[in-house]
Structure 1
Amino acid sequence: MLSSPGIGSGLDVNGIVSKLMTAESQPLTALDAKEAKQQTRLTAFGTLKGALSSFQSNLVALSDPAKFTAVMANFSDTTLASASASSSAVTGSHSVEIQTLALAQKLKSANFANTSATVGSGTLTIQFGTYNSGTFTLNPDKAAQSIIISPSNSSLSGIRDAINQANAGVNASIVNDGTGNRLVVASQDTGLSNALKITATDTDGNNTDNAGLSQLVYDASTSGTTNMTQTMAASNATLVIDGISISKASNNITDAIEGVTLNLLKANPGTTSTLNLSRDTASIQNVVSSFVKSFNDLNKTIVDLSKYDAATKQASILTGDSTVRSIQTRIRSAISDPLTTAGGGLSLLSETGISFQSDGTLKLDSAKLSKALNDPTKDISTLFASVGKTSDSLVSFTSAKPETVNGKYALNISQIATQGTAIGSTAAALTINTGVNDSLNLTIDGVNASITLAAGTYTATSLAAEIRSRINGTSAISSAGVKVAVSQSAGNLAITSDRYGSASTVSITGGNGKSDLFGTPVETAGVNVAGTINGVTATGSGQTLTGAADSSGLVLKITGGSTGARGDIDFAHGFAAKLNKLVGGMLNGQLIDSRIDGINSSIKDIGTQRETLTQRLADTEKRIRAQFTALDTTIASMTQTSNFLQQQLSRLPKSE
């Protein structure tokens, strides 16, 4: 048995078999090339899908009407104030005189020898409100805060740290004035309604003397105790806008001019500055430019993947591909086709300076766009975004979905949304006694809370403010984003949820003060708005109404008014929304995915063919090698026989 092919015969069996198998393996090489091409096509379709997704992301941003109604605010003297505006602001100019800035109240304690000096222990209660003619009126939107001062943190620095760690709406610091150390307590918020009232429950048994924790009390109302001293009074910002005097608690004013935020920096009484509100055409130009760029980026990807270079006679990987042609054609057609129901005086992108070039790219004529933007009869937002225009000022368009059909929809309201309430059946007791009638258990919008009122004698109005402050300041309520208003009428208290709709509820479930304060309260849950859009019943949730059928996905907000016919809503999808729907269908449907699935299937088939061919080649090599091994053995045997015969012949006697 020969251990190595070719030893017996001298033939290069391994070399011969290798060359024969190289010839036999040509189909395998062809499969490798075929698979590489399919992998390249797979990558190409992935690149195309990514480019479409990027284009769609830009279209989503363009679908927002606010992108095309931006307003720019400029204050003539930027050292006095800065300004910004939302799309709801009305263009024009306003004269502004800033007389005073809003300030936060600051209080200082008496001097202490050092920061480790013991002050006292007990509980500090901080309330926020307004001092006026010797009366402190509670700020109903800010809850009282209680801070426990234990003996372990009863030093000056310990009390400072306890106050700051409590997040009670004030900041505490220690100032050394050269004669000693003073605790300074400052309201975090400016304005008259955020002045401080600090009371103490002192462990020494006296809550108002100038010893122990009561050294830190401050109540500037008549008969109040002021052991701390005011160093800065709380004050409102005062200004005059267009001759109208305005007072605001904050230097950041959002509700003086609709849609405008003023950030006051410096007072300059007697001097008038100008606030100019103008359409932010530069921002809109950028938005439109980004659309043109995003399309051109997509177009470049498509061209690179499918172009044919006539000079080099080289085709791209997707040259002639029907799917790519379909995508390119459909998008270009959607851009070129006019909108039939835009409603803003524009129906073609070319009217805003966007047009196709000979190479298939888009070009923006900025001058033409500016002309359209400055034309009061044109509303460019309707050309791009999904926009609904309402004829009733108390009905506003919120949003729409791609499936919402363009058209004019009649609105009819059968029920206005209301808020949940609990109204007392009798006039409230105005004297609150600790442990007697000072607690209430409530459920507001499904959130449970318990409050304890401060003991004292109130008016009906101040009691309402106290209850509101306590409810809104409860962590369970505030952390859930729930809020209430509390009012009184003829002494009867009413708690109203800020929320609208069937989820808006107020229930007084118990507490020792329920009967004294509310008697047997009448509790009424809120209801959702109800009505029809174009005669089809819509779905109400709070103040929002969502359409069905053709108006499916159309969301309106009804903030008041009467029941019955409430005018029309003119709705239309713009180009961005139309293209977004088209591209979304391409990405989420079978147009590209079916091609990718087909390529993956082909690659899988090639893998199967490779496995079969590889096995066949292995069998072929085994057979050829066996044949050459047998030949090698035969030749080796014949060689041995020949050598033997030669040896025997050489031994025969030579003839004379």
Structure 2
Amino acid sequence: MSSILPTSSTSSTSSTSSGSNVSTYSDPGGPPITFSSLFSGINTQAIIQALMAAYEQPQVDLAKQIQSLQTNLSDYQTIVSDLSSLQTQANALLQPSQLSSMSASTSDAAVATATAGQGAIPSSLTFNVNQLAQANILASSGTVSSLSSQVASGNFLLSSSAAGAGVTSLAGSSLQVGTHSFSVTSALSGATATGTSPLASSITIGSSNDTIAATVNGTAETFTIASGTYTPAQLAAAISQASSVSGTPLLQAQVNAQGQLELGTTLLGSSASLQITGGTALSTLGLAAQASASVGTAGSVTLDGTVTAVNNVQAGQTVSLADGTGGSITIGIGSFGLSQGSFTATEVAAGNGSLSQVVSNINAAGAGVTASAVQVSSGTYVLQLVSNQTGTASAITVEQAPFQSALGSFTTIAAAQNAQVQIGGQSGYLVSSQTNQVQGVLPGVTLNLVSAQPPGSAPVTVSVTPDGKTLASSIQSLVNAANQVLSDINTYAGYNEQTNTGGPLMGDSTLNGITSQVLGVIAQTLGEGGITAAQAGITLNKNGTISFDAQTFAQLYDQNPTAVTSLFAQSGTFNPSSSTYAGDVSLVYAGDGTQAGSYQVVVSQSATQATDSGSVLASGTITNAETLTVAQGSQSVQYAASAGESLSAIAQGLNAAFAQAGMGMQASVVSSSSGSQIVLTASAYGTQGDFTVTTTATGSGQTGLATSANTPESFTGLNVAGTINGVAATGNGQVLAAPTTDPTLAGLSLQVSASGITSATTIGSFVYSPGISGQLALIANGATAPVTGSLEARMSGIQQQISMLQQQYNGYTPMIQNEQKMLEQEYSAMESQLGSLQSVGSELAGQIAQLP
């Protein structure tokens, strides 16, 4: 707050010339009044100033009071600022996750390094780096003699994302230049079977383990694998070859990222089915006989807003997609179909068709590919294409026909390759990554791959350990903020024994209370196992300040991070009223104003998920085609089910669509002695998971997920309802939140997972512990909160006093002006009268002098 400085609207000046005294009075309401003490010889200005000094004294006293209050206000503002800083530092250490400090290292940095992030926990594992991720590089098989040579006969499609969706080729017709968007809303897939364990690095097949018995697309088959010793990739090729009937393979095989064998039908769509029934090779292949057949799914692809259904096609076939503007794109279908997701392809203008023009246009197209004209020898150039990203999902797909006559086909210089890490040694499992940064092998840890290891290399160990040294800097900031509060309170409200003087705010019980509270938090807070702040390196000094030993803290944190975290962070324990509710309540949020304590939890309504249960079908399949639309919030998905499609396939298709749209929904099939039914369930509890279902077909033999055709039907969940500490709380899903305005609970929010409750039931008590950070935040909030804060109220009172005194001060100003004006006028009149008398005296003296 800026100082209010008293001002005066009166002014006077005086000067002495030739022994006379001249005064000038300035009145804002009129012309200056000037008078001289020539006649009296009296210093009238000095007399007026002396009289006015006494008259102005009450206003001077008010000014001193205002200045004193402004000083006090400024001191309080400094302390409030200190407390706000303390609250900020404390809030940065409230949650257990904020006190998680881990470091990660590897035993061989030449192979891989590691970084630990949020969610990392003490752990370790061993791994080998089998291969690094690399980008796809293509080059033309033919050459041209110069940069101006023509290499393209027309525009062409280019993509660095289509391969990731299973597209093997692109060819456009009548397309607009620019980017074209694809969305595979329903995956096209064959029926599949996946091994349960990784394949060995070397597999030998002989007469005792060479057969697979399966029912493929409804026909029983037995396939015999050729004898030999194979790598996993070679074995997959041998299985595909063994499944050929009349020269056409019925099955295709590949090894997935986990090293497991995957079998799939070459027929892709809802008519595909596969059931592994037996065979001597199953154990070797990591496969098991299936109780029922898996089925394929029909696909749906949207190109620039136009939808095309794709179903029952052979792997390797091409499908034409219309773009809605008269153009079309023909795509090649990969071995395992089209995976759900989005990708783009860019129609690149050939321009004049020259090598330099094509290179320039590709690089300007933003297709994720860099083109170069590479001179391989004098007068010999090739067109090279390099994907801007590593991994198989970023492999290049280019329309080749426009280049055939000049450059021939494109050959692979470097195949797109995912990084491959084998966890746990040679008998472990494989993890694949599109980049050389591998995540997910340990919580919160990223492996940064540097080099691939030769076969048989010793595994690398990654270790995640507590890092108390790094966290100590945050604790030091908290201690520094607390010491600043204590220091400034002592400066403004304490007593200086050396000077025997007290601060301007000495005696303020609120400030003394804050000091006691801050020191009490450090002295009295206990963590898990009775750990104290002193054990964590935080101690109290005789002069009323706090010391922090970072080394002591780091050592204890590294030994027991959980206990140290409990000393600082908010936490809570639930004491259930019966074992039925054990573990059903946990802390979600506590505000800076939430008081420590034990609070009874009463639930009157458990949270539920929105659920839609369809009709029970004895056959497990639908009779007629049916399109389902599921909407949740602003998102919706659509799945077109074919006549005779199984409920399992429909559920799979819906789940794929939900995943693609990022919807919190799950489709499942529930079976009983009467048949099977589809059940749709919202992932979220309460009203936030509400959804609607629309179907194009109802009646016997249909899914029964909606009762009326083409009419949305709503399904809702219930929010939890109840009280905390007797205070009515608001439910949102499973979260029960007390009012933020409650002086004790201050927004305390608990997750309540107790189920099946429909009437008021006391399920137990929740004990909230704010920890050192929470308690310091509570102290700061109690003093600085707008309106209710103790120091905010104190400052508001001071400001009111200043305002009242300023009004009084301002009231004196016109009175002082009038008084000075009156005195100036009186003395001016006196001098004038004296002048007249002197003039008369002079005349008399002259007349007397002329007397005889």
Written as runs of structure 1 = structure 2, the 5 A alignment for 1:37-186 is: 37-86=68-117, 88-109=119-140, 111=143, 113-114=146-147, 118-121=152-155, 126-129=162-165, 135-137=334-336, 140=339, 142-149=341-348, 170-178=368-376, 179-186=380-387
Aligned equivalent of 1:319: 506
* C-alpha spacing 1:571/1:421, structure 2 compared with 1 (3 Å): farther
Q: How does 1:344-493 map to 2 (within 5 A)?
A: 344-346=528-530, 348-365=532-549, 369=553, 372-373=556-557, 379-388=563-572, 398-401=588-591, 402-403=593-594, 406-407=597-598, 417=609, 444-447=631-634
What is the deviation of 1:450? 8.7
Q: Deviations over 1:369-388 (max 9, x none)?
A: 45643655971222211124
- Cα separation, 2, equivalents of 1:326 and 1:114: 83
Residue equivalent to 1:291: 478
Give the structure-1-normalised TM-score. Answer: 0.75
TM-fit CA distance, 1:265:
1.9
AA aligned opposite 1:599: I
User: SS of 1:173's equivalent?
Assistant: strand
Question: Please, which of 554, 562, 567 is the counterpart of residue 749 of structure 2?
Answer: 554
**2:273 equivalent in structure 1:** none
Letter in 1 for 2:439: T
Matched, 1:649 2:848: yes
Amino acid at match of 1:30: D
2:494 match? 307
Change (3 A) 1:555 1:276: same
CA contact (8 A) 1:420 1:505 kept: no
Q: Secondary structure at the match of 2:339?
A: coil
Question: 1:237 corresponds to which residue?
Answer: 419
Equivalenced residues, count: 606
Matches within 5 A, 1:219-230: 227-230=409-412
Matched, 1:329 2:365: no
Structure 2 distance, partners of 1:156, 1:526, is 61
CA shift, 1:151, in A, is 7.1
Gaps of 5+ in 1: 201-208, 217-225, 432-436
Supply the AA of the counterpart residue of 1:239: V
Deviations 1:31-51 (A, max 9, x none): 333322222111111101100
C-alpha change, 1:89 and 1:302, in structure 2 (3 Å) is same
Task: Specify whether residues 227 and 535 from structure 1 end up closer, same or farther in structure 2 by C-alpha distance, changes over 3 A only.
Answer: farther
CA distance in structure 2 between the partners assigned to 1:108 and 1:508 by the alignment: 50
Higher strand share: 2
Structure 1 window deviating more from structure 2 (71-80 vs 138-147): it is: 138-147
Query: Which digits, 9 at most, give the CA deviation of each residue in 1:518-566, with x for residues without a partner?
Result: 9886588574675879999986645x533559986334386xx987999
Instruction: Return 394-403 or 249-258, whichever deviates more.
Output: 394-403
Change (3 A) 1:323 1:404: closer
Alpha-carbon contact 1:118-1:155 (below 8 Å) kept = yes
Match of residue 777 from structure 2 = 580
Deviation at 1:254, TM superposition (A): 1.8
Q: 1:172 to 1:255 in 2, by over 3 A?
A: same
User: Which range is displaced more, 577-586 or 136-145?
Assistant: 136-145
Percent identical: 21
Name the stretch that deviates more: 26-35 or 584-593.
Answer: 26-35
Structure 2 CA distance for aligned equivalents of residues 153 and 505 of structure 1: 56
5+ long unaligned stretches in structure 2: 1-32, 169-252, 255-315, 317-333, 575-580, 672-676, 707-712
Q: 1:235 to 1:97 in 2, by over 3 A?
A: same
* CA RMSD across the alignment: 5.1
TM-score normalised over the length of structure 2: 0.59
CA contact (8 A) 2:610 2:690 kept: no
Once the two structures are TM-superposed, the CA of residue 74 in structure 1 deviates from its matched residue by 1.1
Indicate the residue corresponding to 1:264 in structure 2: 449
1:190 aligns with 2:353: no
Note the alpha carbon deviations across 1:429-465, whole angstroms, 9 max, x for none. 9x9xxxxx9xx99664333679999xxxx99999999
Secondary structure at 2:790 match in 1: coil
Give, as a single letter, the amino acid of the residue that structure 1 aligns with 2:164: F
Counterpart residue identity of residue 210, structure 1 = A
- The aligned amino acid for 1:120 is G
Amino acid at match of 1:267: A
2:817 is the counterpart of 1:618: yes
Q: Is the 8 A contact 1:97 1:271 kept in 2?
A: yes
Q: Which of 633-642 and 299-308 deviates more?
A: 299-308
Alpha-carbon distance between aligned partners in 2 of 1:368 and 1:613, rounded to the nearest angstrom = 64
Alignment partner of 1:278 is 2:460: no
Q: From the superposition, tell whether residues 539 and 311 of structure 1 become closer, same or farther in structure 2 (CA, over 3 Å).
A: closer
Tell me, yes or no, if the aligned pair for 1:415 and 1:529 is still in contact at 8 Å. yes
Q: Secondary structure at the match of 1:30?
A: helix
Is 1:248 the counterpart of 2:248? The answer is: no
Q: Secondary structure of the equivalent of 1:120? A: coil
